[in-house]
């Protein structure tokens, strides 16, 4: 954990931003809940536990900043809120998501499945791809089994 905080600190410094206590607390929450897809409000409530004096606007600003620096990805699954998803160290792209329409769970795919597709987009549309957002909507493994056993 400390190692990653340190790396993020360096990334901030490289753009002459500081890792203030509030920013550090926010990053810690994101690291602790790496598997989750927290909204700004979610992050705010969790950060308040370790830094009770923080303001919601600061959390928004921090997330926005981390987003610009590509430390987190701002994603949107179609409910009204933006969610913030920490990138793996050194990852060039936002990872993919599997959203289950039955139970609402969100799985992550870290493997980049779009390399071939991006080549096609690059060559056939002349579009220079920098990043992507890919989300699949459907039914997760878990919910498929439930449905099957329920219907028998």
Binding-site ranges for DNA (CB under 7 A):
16-18, 20-23, 39-41, 51, 53-58, 60-62, 64, 80-82
Residue 62 CB, shortest distance to its own copies, in Å, is 17
Sign of CA dihedral 45, 90, 61, 27: positive
Q: Which residues are annotated as a binding site for Zn(2+)?
A: 100, 103, 140, 143
Residue 35 CB, shortest distance to its own copies, in Å, is 15
Partner residues linked to 57 by β-bridges: none
Residue 144 CB, shortest distance to DNA, in Å, is 28
130 binds, among its own copies, DNA, none (CB under 5 to 8 A by kind): its own copies
- Closest by alpha carbon to 132, among 93, 89, 106? 93
125 binds, among DNA, its own copies, none (CB under 5 to 8 A by kind): its own copies
Distances (CA, A) of 96 to 55, 85, 88, 99, 123: 31, 11, 12, 10, 23
Q: Are 101 and 137 a contacting pair, CB within 8 Å?
A: yes
**Rounded-to-integer distance, Cα 152 and Cα 93, Å:** 42
Interacting residues toward its own copies by CB under 8 A: 74, 76, 78, 98, 100-101, 107, 109, 113-114, 116-118, 120-121, 125-141, 144
């Amino acid at each position: 954990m400390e190692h990653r905080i340190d790396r993020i600190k360096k990334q901030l410094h490289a753009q002459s931003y500081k890792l203030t206590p509030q920013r550090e607390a926010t990053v810690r929450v994101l690291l602790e809940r790496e598997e989750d897809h927290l909204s700004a409000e979610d992050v705010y409530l969790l950060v308040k536990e370790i830094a009770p004096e923080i303001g919601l606007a600061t959390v928004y600003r921090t997330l926005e900043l981390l987003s610009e620096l590509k430390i987190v990805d701002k994603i949107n699954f179609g409910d009204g809120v933006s969610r913030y998803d920490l990138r793996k160290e050194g990852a060039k792209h936002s990872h993919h998501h599997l959203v289950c329409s039955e139970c609402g769970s969100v799985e992550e795919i870290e493997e980049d499945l779009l390399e071939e597709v991006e080549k096609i987009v690059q060559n056939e549309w002349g579009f220079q791809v920098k990043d992507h957002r890919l989300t699949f909507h459907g039914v997760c493994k878990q919910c498929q089994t439930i449905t099957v056993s329920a219907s028998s």
